[in-house]
Amino acid sequence: MNYSLGIFSTFRDEAALKLFHSIYQNIASNKIKGKIAYIFCNREYGEDDLTDRLLKEVEKYSLPLICFSSCKFQPLLRKQGMEETRRMKRESVPLMEWREKYDREIIRRVENFTVDLIVFAGYMLITSKELCSRYDMINLHPAPPDGPKGAWEEVIWELISQKSPEAGAMMHLVTPELDRGPVVSYYTFPIQGEEYQTLWQQLEEQLPNITLEEIKREAYRTYPLFYKIREEEFRREIPLVVLTLREFTADRIKIFDKKPYYQSVKGVCLNQEIDEYWRDLCLPRS
């Protein structure tokens, strides 16, 4: 089966490029039995220096790259929608209208490509009902099922705030509800216990004199506990995506009526498979 993938990404950080590269390499080695039909980015050149550099790297793969700026598309309607959403603390009608219009333009740009599945790899936009109904799409979200919503930074700080016993990530079907589509696959790992004890203790010792919000402002990504959780999380994210796509392209996971169906995969939790993935990479080659 010549399985065809579309990739959506904002390419806002190095992690997105590493994920794309891993997907490409697994296709090249025939571990993911398919092809990349196109890459879509909701930023254009000139909007962000890091994104510009990442897009130049993506171009080296000679794959169709479609850039269509979400910031530049009907900016007045977008601004109105975002301001009303912040003020009302719920999604506003203008923002939903903007999203529907933007997604129709996405469809117009990609509809000539045939894809079996679209993969969100660091795509930072919520999607409309029209886009969700048009394509089967899966998203990488850096939290366990029913965990916090939002970008990975927000998720980790929320897990710290909740003193959660575990972190993780999941692949889920994309729906208009942010980070709450049906779960396709996931992994978890503990963030309590001996390995993390000193880091939690360090946080507890600081909290009487400083709030968690102040710690976040001063050391958003570099705080030791945050950094340790992100390091362990990111180490597992790429295997989660790769292993999930292997199951899709081998026809062992399918989507029927916007719900995942598992033919022979060992359930949705891939903790064991991810451990085996890293063990295989570390084995000496003859």
Question: Which tens digit of pLDDT belongs to each residue from 195-210?
Answer: 999 999 999 999 988 9
Q: How far apart are CA 70 and CA 109, in angstroms?
A: 14
Average pLDDT over residues 153-159: 93
Domains of the chain: 3-282 (3.40.50.170)
The token pair at 243 is: 């292993």
Q: Per this entry, what is the length of the chain?
A: 286
Average pLDDT over residues 23-32: 94
The token pair at 78 is: 């977008």
pTM: 0.87
CB 243 within 8 A of CB 268: no
Sorted by sequence, the CB contacts under 8 Å of residue 195 that are 6+ apart come out as: none
Q: How far apart are CA 252 and CA 284, in angstroms?
A: 29
pLDDT reading at 126 higher than 50? yes
Residue identified by tokens 């999604």 is 91
CB 225 within 8 A of CB 205: no
pLDDT reading at 285 higher than 70? no
Average pLDDT over residues 100-116: 96
pLDDT-derived band of residue 97, with 50, 70 and 90 as boundaries? Answer: very high
In this predicted structure, what is the pLDDT of residue 1?
Answer: 52
Kindly write down the DSSP assignment for every residue of the chain, as one continuous string.
Answer: --EEEEEEE---SHHHHHHHHHHHHHHHTTSS-EEEEEEEES--TTS-HHHHHHHHHHHTT---EEE--TTTSSHHHHHHHHHHHHHHTS--HHHHHHHHHHHHHHHHHHTTS--SEEEESS------HHHHHHS-EEEEESS-TT---SSHHHHHHHHHHHT-SEEEEEEEE--SSTT-SPEEEEEEEE-SSHHHHHHHHHHHHHTTTS-HHHHHHHSTTT-HHHHHHHHHHHHHHHHHHHHHHHHHHTTSEEEETTEEEESSSS-SB-HHHHHHHHHHHHSPP-
pLDDT-derived band of residue 239, with 50, 70 and 90 as boundaries? Answer: very high
pLDDT-derived band of residue 176, with 50, 70 and 90 as boundaries? Answer: confident
